[in-house]
Amino acid sequence: MEDFLIHDISDVLSSGEYDLACHLLSRIADVLNDEVASTYDSWDNLVDEFFEQVDVLSASIHLDADRMNDLYSRMDVINDLL
């Protein structure tokens, strides 16, 4: 999953597919919230990379505030687990 976050999400963002990137990051947040914390030693690395990709997405002006707020609320849940 870390390679996906590092390379594939970056490619999606570079191609201008911001809605797809938001959708994928939201699904990844669900996985991080529900399963990864208890099953992977590299959870912290995944969370760091996830946050970095959300920051890249938030720097774009292509998504409406509601979509980004939904993604940020998922980040809050992850932060609570830290």
Number of domains composing the chain: 1
Q: What per-residue confidence (pLDDT) applies to 35?
A: 63
List CB contacts of 6: < 8 A, sequence separation 6 or more.
49
Structure tokens at 68: 């980004």
Predicted confidence (pLDDT) at residue 8 exceeds the cutoff of 60: yes
Does position 81 have pLDDT exceeding 80, yes or no?
no
Range of the domain at 32: 2-81
pLDDT, mean of residues 13-39: 78
Confidence of residue 1 (pLDDT cuts 50, 70, 90): low
Please tell me the predicted confidence (pLDDT) of residue 79. 72
* Average pLDDT for the chain: 78
Residues 30 and 74: beta-carbon distance below 8 Å: yes
* Residue 18: per-residue pLDDT: 84
